[in-house]
């Protein structure tokens, strides 16, 4: 179905010639232009510090976009048309006088909507917003998009956020968590709230535990400088994994509007049980990759990747969490994420309780329990594990088999990148899939407690082999409760 064309917008990207812009934002805008959702009267204004002609900008974006747009979707004529909407403004974000060039472009013929996408270090978000306000560039229909990481801890988040909120209203701020824009993540809410069969089962009455895994096979690559100050907890758990947990655990919002959805997620974040200091060792695992083999190629250690002799930063985290409310009382939520793991593989597993009394004893090696597996990436699939009888005489032999919903088979459509949906939501003025201040604070509140616990316990990361499923303690974390990580590759 063709997308509805949106109102004309000026999309201003600070860090417009940087990695995120070239890898994610520009390709996403190309696709939305191709699908005629971007209004042709709109403009895309890349901001950079150096001098650059229009031709140089177009050549730079072309060179990168071609790597991120599939050959089937590439169209020279569409690209040429897209390139006409690109503009460049030389602005040094911290030099007030340099904003005049941006003001000139914007004020000459303003479009209905203005988006300022801040793909820069968060430390300068406040000063950029201050300059935009001082130059009267923030209009009532302006939106400011903030890229993660939003700070290092609660204090730094508050200081960045307060500086932004001095210049724009909370309703104009769009804090990105790109996981919320992934098709399969959006589908989580549809799965839960449009299929009545799940609701009665979606609680401690029927659910034994929940697993959320976001595994990556890549290492830290060229982002070592940032990553070593952050680690997996701040980079992945505080945002992506907690957002996934919220979508699994939340109550049904009364409608899909931004505040109803975010209010429900906030309740989950506030119900997360803080992990007491004496349980940090048994309920959390930190790891750091060593040398190994990933995707058939030798992989070096984290320390070699970041070119340092020593580091206490974790590249792997596993946590046993609890949501202290009526629905989830007593149900562990196991979270796991890591770099340089055996595969890129993200999934949510809802492990249901076994039948109360097994009438087929001795005839199955598997416990008679159902599992709902929601594979987020790659090969998006929803699978329900059912126990069935193996056909044939000889009594009851039981075997777990799957009811499969493969998205590739069900929908013969391209899966748009998360940024496509999120960028268009900003133009539309729909912040449902973006994080509100109180959500980010609640997420920091819970994660910071664990970070402090690690510091206090001096809990160093356990080594794990690159290309494995993480340190042995993450298997112990499950085994101590009689559980194991779901593995189905
Ligand atoms: C980012 C993290 O937010 O998410 C990266 O900073 C990580 O470290 C990335 O690699 C993972 O995103 P995706 O979409 O590839 O799963």
Identify the CA nearest to 449 among candidates 242, 212, 224: 242
| Nearest Cα residue to atom 6 of ligand 1 | 235
Query: What pLDDT was estimated at residue 489?
Result: 60
Chain center to CA of 163: 24
The angle subtended at Cα 260 by Cα 256 and Cα 263, nearest 5°, is 140
CB neighbour list of residue 38: distance below 8 Å, 6 or more residues apart: 5, 6, 9, 29, 32, 85, 427
Question: CA of 240: how far to CAs of 57, 87, 167, in Å?
Answer: 32, 32, 27
Instruction: Choose, from 87, 209, 240, 452, the residue flagged as catalytic.
Output: 240
Comparing CA positions, the residue from 427, 435, 418 lying closest to residue 377 is: 418
Cα 414 to ligand 1 centroid, rounded to whole Å: 21
Closest ligand 1 atom, CA of 214?
A: 16
> How does pLDDT run across 107-149, given as a tens digit for each residue?
888 888 999 999 999 999 999 999 999 999 999 999 999 999 8
Residues forming beta bridges with residue 174, ordered by sequence position: 145
> What are the angstrom distances between the C-alpha of 302 and each of 224, 236, 447, 451?
9, 17, 23, 20
- Among 121, 122, 146, 236, the mutation site with the greatest number of ligand 1 atoms within 8 A of its Cβ is 236
20 C-alpha to center of ligand 1: Å?
Answer: 11
**pLDDT computed for residue 362 by the predictor:** 65
> What single-letter DSSP state applies at residue 287?
E
CA–CA distance from 375 to each of 63, 215, 486 (Å)?
A: 32, 12, 11
- 216 CB less than 6 Å from ligand 1? yes
Atom number, ligand 1, closest to the C-alpha of residue 377? 16
376 C-alpha to ligand 1 centroid (Å): 13
Q: Whose CA is nearest to atom 10 of ligand 1?
A: 216
- The angle subtended at Cα 131 by Cα 130 and Cα 135, nearest 5°, is 120
Which residue in 178, 78, 187, 75 sits closest to 411, CA to CA? 187
End-to-end Cα, the chain, rounded Å: 33
Torsion, Cα 106 109 113 119, to 10 degrees, reads: -20
| Active-site annotation holds for 240 | yes
Instruction: Report the nearest-CA residue for atom 14 of ligand 1.
Output: 179
Distances 181 to 10, 256, 334, 459 between C-alpha atoms, Å: 21, 15, 23, 34
How many angstroms does the Cα of residue 472 sit away from the middle of ligand 1? 24
Pairing of strands 369-377, 381-389: antiparallel
Length of the chain: 489
Q: How far is the CA of 275 from the centre of ligand 1 (A)?
A: 25
Burial of 472 (0-12, 13-18, 19+ CB in 10 A): middle
Q: How far apart are CA 91 and CA 457, in angstroms?
A: 46
Looking at the CA of residue 218, tell me the nearest atom of ligand 1: 10
Q: Is the CB of 183 under 6 A from ligand 1?
A: no
Nearest CA to 115 out of 163, 29, 171, 174 is that of 174
Note the pTM of the prediction, 2 decimals. Answer: 0.96
Taking the centre of ligand 1 as the mean of its atom positions, its distance from the CA of residue 200, in whole angstroms, is 34
Q: Which of 24, 147, 178 to mutate to test the pocket of ligand 1 (most atoms within 8 A of CB)?
A: 178
Binding site membership of 417 for ligand 1 (Cβ less than 6 Å): no
Q: What residue's CA is closest to ligand 1, atom 4?
A: 236
The finding on whether 439 has its CB within 6 A of some atom of ligand 1 is no
**How remote is the CA of residue 346 from the centroid of ligand 1, in Å?**
11
pLDDT in tens, 349-380: 999 999 888 888 766 556 679 999 999 999 89
Probe target for ligand 1 pocket from 216, 241, 338, 378, with the most ligand atoms within 8 Å of CB: 216
* CA of residue 236 to ligand 1 center, whole Å: 7
Pick the residue whose CA is nearest to atom 9 on ligand 1. Answer: 236
pLDDT in tens, 147-189: 998 999 999 999 999 999 999 999 999 999 999 999 999 999 9
* Residue 4, CA distances (Å) to 33, 36, 301, 379, 409 in order: 11, 8, 48, 28, 26
Q: Measured between alpha carbons, how far is residue 413 from residues 1, 269, 408, 476 in Å?
A: 10, 34, 8, 41
DSSP label of 6 = P
Can you tell me which atom of ligand 1 is nearest the CA of 418? Answer: 14
What does pLDDT average to in each consecutive run of 10 residues of the chain (489 residues)? 88 96 97 96 96 96 93 94 96 93 90 94 96 95 95 96 97 97 94 94 98 97 93 98 98 95 98 96 97 96 96 98 98 98 96 90 69 93 92 86 90 91 97 97 98 93 97 97 88
pLDDT of residue 363: 60
Q: Whose CA is nearest to atom 8 of ligand 1?
A: 235
CA dist 185 and 212 (Å) reads: 12
**Cβ atoms 227, 314 nearer than 8 A:** no
235 pocket-lining for ligand 1 (C-beta < 6 Å): yes
Quote the tokens at residue 167: 């210049």
What secondary structure letter does DSSP report for 250? P
């Amino acid at each position: 179905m063709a997308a509805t064309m949106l109102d004309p917008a000026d999309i201003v990207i600070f860090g417009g010639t940087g990695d995120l812009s070239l890898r994610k934002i520009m390709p996403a805008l190309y696709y939305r232009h191709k699908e005629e959702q971007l209004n042709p009267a709109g403009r895309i204004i890349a901001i950079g510090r150096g001098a650059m002609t229009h031709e140089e900008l177009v050549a730079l974006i072309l060179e990168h976009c071609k790597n991120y747009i599939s050959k089937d979707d590439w169209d020279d004529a569409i690209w040429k048309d897209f390139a006409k909407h690109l503009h460049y403004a030389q602005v040094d974000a911290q030099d007030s006088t340099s904003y005049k060039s941006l003001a000139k472009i914007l004020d000459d013929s303003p479009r209905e909507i203005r988006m300022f996408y801040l793909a820069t270090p968060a430390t300068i978000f406040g000063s950029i917003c201050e300059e935009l306000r001082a130059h009267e560039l923030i209009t009532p229909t302006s939106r400011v998009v903030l890229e993660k990481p939003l700070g290092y801890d609660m204090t730094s988040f508050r200081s960045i956020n307060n500086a932004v909120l001095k210049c724009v209203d909370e309703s104009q701020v769009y804090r990105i968590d790109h996981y919320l824009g992934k098709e399969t993540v959006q589908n989580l809410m549809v799965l839960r709230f449009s299929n009545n069969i799940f609701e009665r089962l979606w609680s401690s009455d029927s659910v034994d535990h929940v697993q959320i895994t976001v595994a990556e096979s890549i290492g830290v690559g060229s982002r070592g400088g940032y990553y070593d100050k952050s680690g997996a907890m701040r980079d992945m758990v505080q945002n992506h994994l907690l957002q996934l947990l919220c979508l699994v655990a939340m109550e049904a919002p009364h409608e899909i509007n931004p505040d109803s959805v975010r209010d429900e997620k906030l309740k989950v974040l506030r119900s997360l049980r803080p992990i007491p200091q004496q349980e940090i060792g048994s309920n959390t695992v930190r790891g750091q990759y060593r040398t190994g083999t990933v995707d058939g190629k030798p992989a070096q250690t984290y320390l070699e990747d970041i070119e340092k002799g020593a580091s206490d930063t974790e590249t792997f985290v596993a946590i046993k969490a609890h949501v202290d409310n009526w629905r989830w009382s007593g149900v562990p939520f196991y979270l796991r994420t890591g770099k340089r793991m055996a595969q890129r593989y993200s999934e949510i597993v809802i492990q249901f309780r076994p039948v109360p009394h097994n009438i087929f004893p001795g005839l199955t090696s598997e416990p008679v329990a159902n599992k709902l597996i929601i594979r987020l990436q790659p090969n998006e699939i929803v699978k329900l594990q059912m126990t069935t009888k193996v056909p044939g005489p000889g009594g009851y032999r039981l075997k777990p088999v799957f009811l499969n919903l493969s998205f590739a088979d069900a929908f013969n459509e391209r899966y748009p990148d998360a940024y496509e949906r999120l960028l268009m939501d900003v133009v539309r003025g729909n912040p449902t899939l973006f994080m509100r201040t109180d959500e980010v604070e609640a997420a920091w509140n819970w994660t910071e407690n664990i970070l402090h616990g690690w510091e206090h316990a001096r809990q160093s990361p356990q080594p794990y082999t690159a290309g494995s499923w993480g340190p042995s303690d993450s298997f112990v974390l499950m085994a101590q409760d009689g559980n194991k990580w779901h593995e189905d590759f």
